[in-house]
Structure 1
Amino acid sequence: MQAVTGAVPLFALPAVALDLETTGLNVDTARIVQVGAVQLCAKAAAAAAPFDRLVNPGLPIPPESAAIHGITDAAVTSAPAVGDLWPDLLAYLSGRVVVGHTIAYDLTVLEREATRHGLLWQRPRSLCIRKLAAIVVPGLHDPSLDKLASWLGIEIDQRHSALGDAKAAGQIYQKMVPLLSERGIRTLAEAERAVLARAPQVEKEAAAGWVATPAPDAEAILASAGQYDTYAYRHAVGDIMARTLLVVGGDTGLREAMKKMAERGASSVLVADPPEGGRPLGAYGILTERDALRRIAADGAAALERPVANMANRPLISIREKAYVYRAISRMRRLKVRHLVVVDDVGDAVGMISARDLLKLRSEPAIALSDAIKEAQSAGDMAVAWAGLAGVVRSLTHEGLDARTTARIVSEELRSMTERAAELALAEMRSEDFGEAPCPFAVMVLGSGGRGESLLKPDQDNAIVFAEGDPDGPQDRWFAELGTRMAAILDQAGIPLCNGGVMAKNPPWRGSAATWRARIEGWVASARPENLLNVDIFFDQAAVFGARRLAHDLFAHAYATGSANPVFAKLLGAKLDRIANPFGFMGRLAGEDGRLDLKLHALFPIVSAARTLAIRHNLPAHTTSERLARLAARGEGDTALLRALADDHAFCLSLILRRQSRALLSGEKLNNEILLSELSRSETNRLRDALKRIQLLPDLVRDLMF
């Protein structure tokens, strides 16, 4: 099990409730006489059986202790010593956060036993339900295990047995999770930070010799992560794929197909009629070297003359041309295949990538994340996977990866989460007799996720386009159900509902292709403020699931419609006349309490200007950097400023992502602000120069508008 990060939501936390029965309360002299533990699993995978062991302490059990837990010297005579059960206990706790009542006592006793017997021990992350209860009910007079259980309606079975108390502690923790969420404590790091803030209790435990477990900060997590090859994060599949597809007709003999593979040095061949590339994925089958050898082994030399049509495997497994290489590695590993057909934005085959191309790349962190999302069977599984993203971003930032690439990786995983939510929602609907989709459809991610520029504080911006059907007709109602279920799954998985309601469950954000075209034309023709906001979100859309061509055609239609109306583009540009000024007295950066909102002062103006001008000149690109590059390539206006703004955008992205990844891992409030005190002198100077250039955007947009 991979290490748990502070970004994991409490409801999906891989945890284990632990309790010890001992010979006394003094941690320096106490010996363990019983260990009880139970794994708590919000994930779909089942927990292991409870851990329940008696321990021979190697010395007499005081009568006053035996009177409480009922464990006598006779009961432990034949029990193992603590060192004998230690490996099993460590394995049971491995990869999990330990929860319990006054858990600092139990962990300190374990630490003392490890020191005493020369055993391996590393303190796990932990949460004390007694301290959490003080957060949920500040006025609770007696937060004992009995009182907490009674308050939450939990009956303790076998009180003062280690397993009985551990089970009760686990149930109390699980019932407190939603209560903590109501108080803004949703993740492990937030809970750790809140617990450590209970200064009086922490001081009492320290006085008793109990060692608290501080939450690891982001730097400690980063230091333990190690370094890895960033090639797979810097390059898209399209950069390394074989662009000329090797295709043979179905009537081609196996001997001839193998000859063509040998001539090209290829390990597979596609089969289609007619034998040509650039067609939809479903037109092809695939025959690999291994398939050919297996057929020859089974049928002998006669197989060489048989046509390959009936030997080819279908359906093919594909990956998008713009996906990063680490996703190709993940898909091959998860599905146990050695070849992927590469498709473009609308699903046509444009290339091939094989395991041979990827053998030397090491990209484990994001591969594990990608695998976990795709294999998720519940919102809880998705939440655990999504929580790993902050650590990946922190590591990639530390490795010096271009921030635009890192933001694209965040977007890739956001899209993957949305895709998986759609798959799980469809599975739910099938199981409840809603049937299959009434017509082809595509799920789209909008806003920064569609641009490929997501930060670590996303919400849901999604939409659905379907082939046919009227508003509130049977097709629309079916897709409303799908959108509602998708939204609920994503919200539970840690991607909150959009405050502005930009979700496919709401009528304005779903519709047939015809409905969407009319909607876009209405936005452009009547440029009211709410329509301009819709344009900001929708004109960045990207398909993530289903019949992607529907979304692709809609994207092209939106840009063509917007470009044909200069008044509309001018109104879009007018929003930039009100750029917030981040400079104060003597030209110093005027952050509030040492903080500066870089999304407000930098990202929003650059993104908005690039989108506005791309619409005006019908340049249907997704990313801000591509839009600015295509505008500069036109050779009009201040091209040097356009290129500089692209660099400024990347720099500001890097500052926000660095701050957000640290905040997520350590339980700080997550927002789009940076701390000016964390910047080096050179970073401060560079930021000041970037923000000065951003103040020139209104003039730049006016110059390039016509």
Structure 2
Amino acid sequence: MANQRRKPRRPALAPKKSTVTLLGNLTAVAVDTETTGLDTARDRIIQIGGVRIKSGLLNEEDHCNQLLNPEMPIPDISRNIHGIADEDVCDSPKFIEFASQFKNWIGDSVVIGHSIGFDLAMFKRECDLSGINWEAPRTIDIRHMVDVLSPNLPDYSLETLASWQNIQAHDRHDALADAQMTANVFIALLPLLREQGIRTLAELENACRKANNRSVDEIKSGWYDFLYKPDDDPLHHSPARIDSYPYQHKVSDIMSTPLFFATVKDTVSHVLDILMERKISSIVVKPLEPGPEHGIVTERDILRAINRHGIAALDMHIQDLATFPLKTVQHNEFLFRAIGMMDRLRFRHLGVEGPNKQIVGMLTSRDLIRQKSTDAVNIGDAVLHAETEQDLASAWSNLSQVAIGLDRENVDVRNIAAIISEELRAITRRACTMAEKEMVDNGLGHAPVPYCMLVLGSGGRGESLLAMDQDNAIVYLEGDPGSETDQWFEKLGQRTSELLNIAGVPYCKGNIMASNPEWRMGLQQWKSMIESWISRTRPDDLLKTDIFFDAVAVHGDESLMKDISEHAFELGSASRSFLSLMAANASNVHSPLTMFKRFKLADGRMDVKIGGILPIFSAARVESIRNKILHKSTPERLNALLEMGKPAELIDNLTEAHRIILTAILKQQLFDLENGIFLSNKIAPDKMRPGLRNNLRWALEQVPSVTDLLGVPAK
């Protein structure tokens, strides 16, 4: 065995530890040691092996493998196990000489191991002997992960765990080989954890604390106790403060207008005169004929032309300098998307498209210079340009940290919900395009007919928070259920949902997904189904109708969605029986307050969706159908009703109650997220600050007034 192994390498950027990091996006190191024996009070380390894991993938090239001089004889019983003899380590560095290099290689990564408590105890002993301050890393033991999964295994040895996951064992009791095997087992367990709803580091730690039955025996054996206690976790995540401006303002708020245009036949001299006279840095170039996309010429393009051609450049046609096509962003996009796009493309100018795809403004780096934020703004662009499952998961994993940062900046919860919803739509769009490309690459061909992918429910309303799951559907132009066309879209729906689940958006428990034939149909089948929902008005039909009326198109031929949406509004607004049943359903408020205005709690929590926001957004939806209001979000629907003459005090109170309840849910979800508690709409009012708790009580008192909005008797 060689005395000196490859030196460990430090990653270019050590990622910050975060409790909210998705396990599939975790940057970690799997570590193992070989020692002179098993006594953590007497023995020494003779080999350290480690390998890096990044975004669910093993990077065997980035590894650590080092023999150490233990400064004591290696007993025969130990040498017979790992094969390392005194002569193999006599010229190796001592632990104190290697410790700094090893610490730098680990960086801020999570440490993964098998029986890692023993290895940590040995590291602590070596640090104590060397006079080095011991800092315990955030740690995961794959044996504790298996405890959570509770398989029926004869034992939890590394060989058994590897065999269970069909991982080949080799070079046992070599630290590097064991670390690599540990890493492979960890990666193999991630999908099993995901099936149980365990997706983040905090959720795994919390589950391990509850499931682990080994801690006492391990501590008695001298192992290091690394399972964190929720109340004294020194590594509680605190993200850097972020500039909230790009998350609260749209492109249309700061774009430059009016626009100035040139044609491809205009001269550089003429365009330069316009730039100087109007004090602008770019001009949009129109094509000679309608149809082709617009281009752009900037002041830098002109300077480069003059530098290259001298004064003759002024007589050149602008088409010789223009860049086609002009890259654009939608006028109603949040600024953080535009910032991410400009950073990725390294552009200083973006055209702004209006509702009718016309160029209505220009967004420049000068417009954004004071809006530059942290790297978190790039989440939207990262989602849109993800190429692999890992890319998608990596981009999505930043969303919770953005939500934490925005909440700490006191950003309105409705803006935070709108951002989360916009990213939910974006990741659904990207997962769909990735799935479609995979199908083409696998020989299944392109979509047989035009189609549209929809996002439903809270994602469609723009009111999703962090406990969202998948609610999606597909409408395609034509094709019967079970036909080849339908089978193609079934595969598309299945792969889209799979990609979303891997990225961190769980499968819908109610199976409201395009993989389900009830939510994947041809245009005429959709119209017939909607007619059936509205005419029969069974409880299950009402639920489906509720979800559908919040749908938005996120990918494909949006005219298909527009067609069935208009059809649904026409039928729904004309059916008195349907509207009456919808109104009765929305007004059936199960208040979480007692008659004495106290909170009704079960295990210290109460569900403020069922008795809080649900009646408000349901009532706003019913009235939007009745009055053919096409807005999707609850505040926009309520505001439209105000403009139509509904009582101002009633609308204002319901709007404010909706905001307060959403705020309470988000605050609870952020707390639960960082403490590994499964996210839901149930909140613990006793844990709230008094001001928010009192506001929540007032908000819940307003909810029964939805009956006044709906014009139905109070129950």
TM-score by structure 2 length?
Answer: 0.88
In structure 2, C-alpha distance between the alignment counterparts of 1:218 and 1:364, rounded to whole Å: 29
Offset of 1:623 from its aligned partner?
Answer: 1.0
Go from structure 1 to structure 2 and tell me whether the alpha carbon gap of 1:422 and 1:310 turns closer, same or farther (over 3 Å shift): farther
Residue number in structure 2 paired with 1:106: 119
Letter in 2 for 1:656: I
Q: 1:108 to 1:271 in 2, by over 3 A?
A: farther
Displacement, 1:700?
A: 2.1
Whether 2:551 is the aligned partner of 1:541: answer yes
1:124 is aligned to 2:137: yes
Cα 1:134–1:691 shift into 2, 3 Å: closer
Match of 2:27 in 1: 14
Instruction: Give the corresponding residue for 2:427.
Output: 417
Alignment of 1:549-698 (within 5 A): 550-552=560-562, 554-556=564-566, 558-584=568-594, 586-636=596-646, 638-698=647-707
Report the residue type matching 1:134 in the other structure. D
Give the partner amino acid of 1:227. R
Residue 417 of structure 2 corresponds to residue 383 of structure 1: no
What SS does the corresponding residue of 1:110 show, helix, strand or coil? helix
- For residues 353-410 of structure 1, what are the alpha-carbon distances to aligned partners after superposition, in whole Å with 9 as ceiling and x for unaligned? 1222222234326324334433433334323432332222222222211110111111
Specify every segment of 5 or more residues in structure 2 that has no aligned partner in the other structure, as ranges. 1-13
Residue 87 of structure 1, CA deviation = 5.2
Match of residue 437 from structure 2: 427
Contact persistence 2:664–2:696 (CA under 8 A): no
Find out whether 1:40 has 2:53 as its counterpart. Answer: yes
Q: Which residue of 1 aligns with 2:201?
A: 188
User: Does the aligned pair in 2 maintain the 1:562–1:616 contact within 8 Å?
Assistant: yes
* Counterpart for residue 81 of structure 2: 68
- Post-superposition shift, 1:595? 0.9
Tell me the amino acid that sits aligned with residue 255 of structure 2: M
Q: What displacement does 1:572 show? A: 1.9
Written as runs of structure 1 = structure 2, the 5 A alignment for 1:261-276 is: 261-273=275-287
Change (3 A) 1:158 1:507: closer
Q: Note the 1:169-248 alignment, pairs <5 A.
A: 169-181=182-194, 183-198=196-211, 200-207=213-220, 208=222, 210-214=224-228, 224-248=238-262
Moved more, 622-631 or 478-487: 478-487
Q: In the alignment, does 2:491 pair up with 1:454? A: no
CA distance in 1: counterparts of 2:563 and 2:68, whole angstroms: 69
- For residues 570 and 314 of structure 1, what CA distance do their matches in structure 2 show? 54
Instruction: Please give the alpha-carbon distance, in whole angstroms, between the structure 2 residues aligned to 1:512 and 1:487.
Output: 19
Alpha-carbon contact 2:117-2:223 (below 8 Å) kept: no
* Structural mapping, 1:296-307, within 5 Å: 296-307=306-317
Give the distance between the partners of 1:552 and 1:44, measured in 2 at CA.
42
The amino acid of 1:492's aligned partner reads I
Contact preservation (8 Å) 2:113, 2:182 = yes
Q: CA deviation at 1:610?
A: 0.9
Give the structure 2 partner of residue 351 of structure 1: 361
C-alpha separation in 2, matches of 1:148 and 1:473: 44
Name the amino acid aligned to 1:231.
Answer: Y
Amino acid at match of 1:242: S
Assess, with a 3 A threshold, how the Cα gap between structure 1 residues 418 and 61 changes in structure 2: closer, same or farther: same
The percentage of aligned residue pairs carrying the same residue is 38
Q: What is the distance in 2 between the residues matched to 1:426 and 1:149?
A: 35
Q: How does 1:129-528 map to 2 (within 5 A)?
A: 129-137=142-150, 142-152=155-165, 154-181=167-194, 183-198=196-211, 200-207=213-220, 208=222, 210-214=224-228, 224-273=238-287, 283-344=293-354, 347-364=357-374, 366-466=376-476, 475-511=485-521, 516-517=526-527, 519-521=529-531, 523-528=533-538
- Counterpart CA distance in 1 for 2:625 and 2:413 is 25
Are residues 562 and 141 of structure 1, via their aligned partners in 2, closer, same or farther at CA, if it must alter by over 3 Å? closer
- Listed one character per residue, the Cα deviations across residues 23-47 of structure 1 (whole Å, up to 9, x for unaligned) are 3444455443211112235557955
- SS of the equivalent of 1:283 reads coil
Change (3 A) 1:212 1:433: same
Displacement after TM superposition at 1:639 (Å): 1.4
Shift of 1:478: 3.8
CA contact (8 A) 2:237 2:674 kept: no
d(CA) in 1 for partners of 2:165 and 2:447?
43
The one-letter code sitting in structure 2 at the alignment partner of 1:359 is I
Deviations 1:105-161 (A, max 9, x none): 223333444455566865332211223333444775643334444555544322221
**Partner SS state of residue 589, structure 1:** coil
SS in 2 for 1:167: helix
Distance 1:436-1:255 versus aligned 2 partners, 3 A rule: farther
**Closer/same/farther in 2, CA of residues 508 and 6 from structure 1, 3 Å limit:** same
Change (3 A) 1:443 1:137: closer
SS in structure 2 at match of 1:75: helix
Measure, in 2, the Cα distance between the counterparts of 1:145 and 1:506.
40
Equivalent pair of 1:342/1:353 in contact (CA under 8 Å): yes
TM-score, length-normalised on structure 1?
A: 0.89
**Structure 2 counterpart SS, 1:696:** helix
- Taking a change above 3 Å as real, the CA distance of residues 243 and 2 of structure 1, as seen in their structure-2 partners, is farther
Q: What is the total number of aligned residue pairs between the two structures?
A: 699
